[in-house]
Amino acid sequence: MKTIYSFISRHSVWISIGLISLWLLGWGSAELKTILVILTIESLALALSGFCLYAYTNIDFVRGLYQSKEKEEPKTNYFLIQAISFIFLGVHILVGLTVLGVYIAQFSN
């Protein structure tokens, strides 16, 4: 039960942002639709970042951050946060390049 609650609390933000922005895409002007598409793509990028942290690493980053002691291992927190940030940055760069590629392929006529 605790793992289900933890999963829901961690992923509810990007799921709700994605669903609300998809629901609102049918309304409004072109500017609003552009903002909603950006929110949808960003929620997809956040989901992919979480999936990459889970699938491509066997390091439990959160537990490592909470259990490491600053006095015993001063650089542990730095390296864990750096690994998380590089995964997050890499996923967002790849999602941005994919969106740019799709945009150029669709509207290059």
Give dist(CA 36, CA 24) in Å, integer: 7
Q: Is the pTM of this model over 0.75?
A: no
**Cβ within 8 Å of residue 92, ≥6 positions away:** 45, 49
What per-residue confidence (pLDDT) applies to 60?
Answer: 64
92-106 pLDDT tens trace: 898 889 888 888 887
Contact in structure between 85 and 100 (CB atoms under 8 Å): no
Total domain count, the chain: 1
Q: Where in the sequence is the domain holding 51, given as residue range(s)?
A: 2-107
Phi, psi of 73 (to 5 degrees): -130, 85
